[in-house]
Amino acid sequence: MYPFYNRGTFVVVALHFLGVTSVIDRCLPGESCFPDNPVILNFGKSLDGVLLLPYMQEYTEVVVTRDVVWTKFPIGIVVAKSTLDVQRSVLFAQKYNLLVSVRSSGHDFLGRSTAHGSLQILLGNMTKTSMILASPRNPAGEITCESGNTWLKVYEEVDKVDRVIVGGSAHTVCMGGYTLGGGHSPMSRTFGLAVDNLLEVEMVDAQGRIIAANDHMTRIQHLNGSVTSTNNSDIFWALRGGGGGTFGIVTNFTFKLHYPASGVATFDCSYPIVRSDETEIGHIVLKKMVSMLQNLPTEWGGYLIGSGTPNADSSWGSIMLAMNHYGSYDAPTRSYMDELKNFHPEWQQYCAYKRLNTFLEYESTPKDPPYVSTYLLNTLMQEDSFTDDWIQYIFTTLATKLPQPGIVTFTGILIGGKTSAVGIQETSVHPGFRSAVMSLSVGIVPVGENITGLREKAAEMAPQLAEYGNGQYPNEANADLTNWQNKFWGSNYHRLLSIKRQWDPNNFFTCRECVGSEDQTSSHAHVSDNHGVVFSAEMNKT
């Protein structure tokens, strides 16, 4: 009946085998509601981009998500080229009652950007940008980027015109989910979160309308071509932290640009946790490092990183501050880190400043692998979170025995500074972000193919970590949380849910632990599970 569904046939059989087609109320291949082949092929021809179907070689390559533990099998992947392609895809999915998944890079740590049996709308090929170098709403100018741009590409573009922008540390992460979840940056302590720098968006909503929204207006381009405007900016507020895959598909983001500082420096300083003579120094070092964060000048941003693996010199583990200074090398703020440089130099594995010229030069250095497999847990740490009990938790965590070969690491992304200068209701991120000094994520990274039990281990470890802080970052959290609404959005959740119900009452857009996903009927709950739970045992791995 569907001759092109070679690999898709496997999907359909698997879905039936798992009993899903009988319970979800979105249309799947094999059901009478599903569009015939010619209809699907004609839809593909209507696009500026392409529609990849499971029998095609490119589908096999593209279907693998960047976080490979979450790869799933959509019924087709729209490789969109334009906002109109996104609109066409939404209208097609609405007409045939298809489940939709939205993907920019596919890096989501909870697998929210893919789903079995969905029509996947992939924005990774939408990479246009345009800049204005001085604008009435921001003297240093602004840049508009399609959602498929990676941060490295945008850093390179703005550097050419002598500007900087608040974006992610990774080279392969895209604007979309990063920004909609909040977006922290090596420069957040100087300029705030990505959502604090967002000026405007263009979005396709669940009805296929094209929306332009900023903090004082929302303009709707209706399907009949008419345009209406209102000064209600609820949807813009919701998009500034309420998460991806929820309110609509954002095709363009407009961000503030900033003038570059007169210099950039890095400071990396690492110590083992247990020295080769078996002395445990980790507790003393970690305490010293977190004390350095108390009065940290806002020019400094960066990361507190730990891992629990053996070192070549028979010492064990490492704790590191990997810092970046945004300002002149001669500024007094730069020498703030001297105190750590002079702290037990005989214990250090490495400790040095490096003088750089530009933020791009700093950003060009770290290289993230294009594909990862990681299970995360997270908490937002406030000043009073760094107790002795927490320090003990960190070392116990790094030494955790995993059910399969894997590495346990932690990364604390330093926030505070300008991030704390924004009111708790100004954006929709968890209010805990505004008093946090660090977003702390623990990662379990499988070594090799066997991931059995690692996801469960991460879920088991998540509650205790959460107790140290207030709130969790939805983009770097655990996939199996209870009460995620409160953990991700706190007192902002109520307003987010009411905006979701207003803009997308039927949950056309849905994903795991996303605003409104609890509204789904029991049959819809399986659609939500389809973003990862039901199939975890058999199909998380390809």
Ligand X SMILES: Cc1cc2nc3c(=O)[nH]c(=O)nc-3n(C[C@H](O)[C@H](O)[C@H](O)COP(=O)(O)OP(=O)(O)OC[C@H]3O[C@@H](n4cnc5c(N)ncnc54)[C@H](O)[C@@H]3O)c2cc1C
Q: Which is nearer to ligand X, 108 or 299 (CB)?
A: 108
Nearest CB to ligand X, comparing residues 15 and 180? 180
Which residues within the stretch 236-255 sit at the binding site for ligand X (CB under 6 A)?
Answer: 244-245, 249-250
* Residue range at the interface with ligand X (CB under 6 A); choices 181-189, 210-218, 312-320, 490-498: 181-189
Q: Taking CB under 6 A as the rule, does residue 496 contact ligand X?
A: no
Find the binder of ligand X among 83, 87, 89, 104 (CB under 6 A): 104
Q: Say if residues 157 and 147 touch (Cβ distance below 8 Å).
A: no
Interaction of residue 173 with ligand X, rule CB under 6 A: yes
Q: Show Cβ contacts of residue 96 under 8 Å, excluding neighbours closer than 6 positions.
A: 27, 33, 34, 35
296 to each of 190, 210, 277, 434, how far by Cα in Å? 12, 43, 33, 16
Say whether residue 368 binds ligand X (CB under 6 A). yes
Report CA 7 to chain centroid distance, whole Å: 29
- The smaller minimum CB distance to ligand X, of residues 103 and 526, is found at 103
* CB-neighbour burial class of residue 541 (10 A; exposed 0-12, middle 13-18, buried 19+): middle
Q: Which stretch binds ligand X (CB under 6 A): 174-182, 288-296, 349-357, 385-393?
A: 174-182
Q: How far is the CB of 404 from ligand X (least distance, A)?
A: 20
User: Judged by CB under 6 A, does residue 471 bind ligand X?
Assistant: no
Q: Are 147 and 123 in contact (CB under 8 A)?
A: yes
**Tokens 């990063």 appear where?**
178
In the Cβ-directed half-sphere of 413, how many Cα atoms lie within 13 Å? 25
Instruction: Assign 496 to helix, strand or coil.
Output: helix
| Residue 408 interacts with ligand X (CB under 6 A): yes or no | no
State how far the alpha carbon of 119 is from the alpha carbons of 94, 97, 368, 390, 539, in Å: 11, 10, 28, 44, 18
Q: At what angle do helices 454-468 and 388-398 cross, to 10 degrees?
A: 170
Out of 8, 74, 117, 183, the only residue in the binding site for ligand X (CB under 6 A) is 183
Of the candidates 178, 468, 484, 503, which one interacts with ligand X according to CB under 6 A? Answer: 178
CB neighbours of 11 closer than 8 A, spacing ≥ 6? Answer: 5, 29, 54, 73, 75, 116, 117
Would you count residue 149 as binding ligand X (CB under 6 A)?
no
Q: Which stretch binds ligand X (CB under 6 A): 34-42, 48-56, 98-106, 308-316?
A: 98-106
User: E-strand spans in 272-420?
Assistant: 300-310, 316-326, 350-356, 375-382, 406-414
Contact flag: residue 362 with ligand X (CB under 6 A): no
Residue of 141, 176, 306, 443 that binds ligand X (CB under 6 A) = 176
Residue placing its CB nearer to ligand X in the complex, 370 or 505: 370
108 binds ligand X (CB under 6 A): yes
The CA distance from 382 to 385, in Å, is 5
Least Cα distance to 162 among 258, 26, 97 occurs for 258
Q: Binding to ligand X by residue 93, rule CB under 6 A? A: no
Binding window for ligand X (CB under 6 A); candidates: 170-178, 279-287, 344-352, 481-489: 170-178
Q: Is 474 in the site for ligand X (CB under 6 A)?
A: no
Residue of 62, 80, 81, 82 whose CA lies nearest to 72 = 62
Q: How crowded is the C-beta side of 131, counted as CA atoms within 13 Å?
A: 20
CB of 419 to ligand X, least distance (A): 11
Using the rule CB under 6 A, is 163 a contact of ligand X? no
- Which residue matches tokens 């891992």? 307
Q: Does 286 bind ligand X (CB under 6 A)?
A: no
Piece of 44-52, 129-137, 173-181, 357-365 that binds ligand X (CB under 6 A): 173-181
Q: Are 209 and 248 in contact, with CB atoms under 8 Å apart?
A: no
Tell me whether residue 175 or residue 398 sits nearer to ligand X (CB atom): 175
In the three-class reduction of DSSP (H, G, I as helix; E, B as strand; rest coil), residue 267 is classed as: strand
- Judged by CB under 6 A, how many residues of this single chain contact ligand X? 33
State yes or no: residue 71 binds ligand X (CB under 6 A).
no
Nearer Cβ to ligand X (121/351): 121
Contacting residue, 21, 71, 113, 378, with ligand X by CB under 6 A: 113
410 binds ligand X per the rule CB under 6 A:
no
Residues that bind ligand X (CB under 6 A): 102-109, 112-113, 123, 147, 168-170, 173-174, 176-178, 180-181, 183-184, 244-245, 249-250, 368, 372, 475-476, 511
